[in-house]
Amino acid sequence: ETGVTQTPRHLVMGMTNKKSLKCEQHLGHNAMYWYKQSAKKPLELMFVYSLEERVENNSVPSRFSPECPNSSHLFLHLHTLQPEDSALYLCASSQDRGRDYTFGSGTRLTVV
Amino acid sequence: GQSLEQPSEVTAVEGAIVQINCTYQTSGFYGLSWYQQHDGGAPTFLSYNGLDGLEETGRFSSFLSRSDSYGYLLLQELQMKDSASYFCAVKDGGFKTIFGAGTRLFVKA
């Protein structure tokens, strides 16, 4: 495995469900990010972890809960989501405050 | 607020040259990046400008003018595989990178 891997690729969940998105990077980077991508809108930064410490939390609703157990893994725990949370969720990694990010292919989330 | 403006769509012919502009208004600026994203794929890094001027990487070039808060991505010798979305992004010197909404490039035969 190389690069940044996200699972699952697709997820459909009800508003009362609890699910988790997983991201794993094999690049030896020490910073990881969650972004939300909605159609025709800019990528929205959600959370940033550097050396497993959360350094950015962009006013994200508490129904999204990130976890970074080590520098290679990042999770996004989801509960009681709303239909407007349906989007592509992208994970990325970088070395320090690196000028370029490596993105995963994302998880396409649909909330019904 | 913080914003990046880029055209929503551009159409060009195979073999031609196309320029995608980006203007930004951000509270912090460290550099301007460009990413490419094919449908269903991950955004991939193309280029970075930290200083004014032109950076060239093969068929792709990127330009920055910090005094004008403006940059562009230039794609030469367009190929069908260049059909994708292109995002400009401003790095703030910390851990924040702010993205534009993307420009959808259609390359026609």
User: In this complex, is the C-beta atom of B106 within 8 Å of any C-beta atom belonging to chain A?
Assistant: no
Contact B100, B4 (CB under 8 A): yes
Q: What is the pLDDT along chain A (112 residues), one digit of tens a residue?
A: 579 999 999 999 999 899 999 999 999 999 999 999 998 889 999 999 998 888 888 889 999 999 999 999 999 999 999 999 999 999 999 998 888 999 999 999 999 9
Confidence bin at B95 (pLDDT 50/70/90): confident
Contact A83, A67 (CB under 8 A): no
Q: A105 and B97: CB-CB below 8 Å?
A: no
Of the candidates A50, A100, A105, the beta carbon closest to that of B33 is on A100
Of the candidates A99, A104, A105, the beta carbon closest to that of B91 is on A99
Q: Which residue type is seen at A14?
A: G
Tens of pLDDT, residues B46-70? 999 999 999 999 999 999 999 999 9
Contacts of B43 in chain A (CB under 8 A): 43, 90, 101, 103
Q: Whose structure tokens read 């792709």?
A: B60
Give yes or no for a cis peptide into A8 (omega within 30° of 0): yes
β-bridge mates for residue B47, sequence order: B34
Contact A87, A60 (CB under 8 A): no
Mean per-residue pLDDT, B11-37: 95
Residues of A with CB under 8 A from a CB of B: 4, 31, 33, 35, 40-43, 45, 48, 50, 55-56, 90, 97, 99-106
* Spatial separation of the C-alpha atoms in residues A75 and A95, rounded to whole Å: 19
Contacts of B7 in chain A (CB under 8 A): none
Q: A42 and B100: CB-CB below 8 Å?
A: yes
Spatial neighbors of A64 by CB under 8 A, at least 6 apart, are A46, A47, A76, A77, A78, A85
Q: What distance in Å separates residue A39's CA from the closest CA in chain B?
A: 9
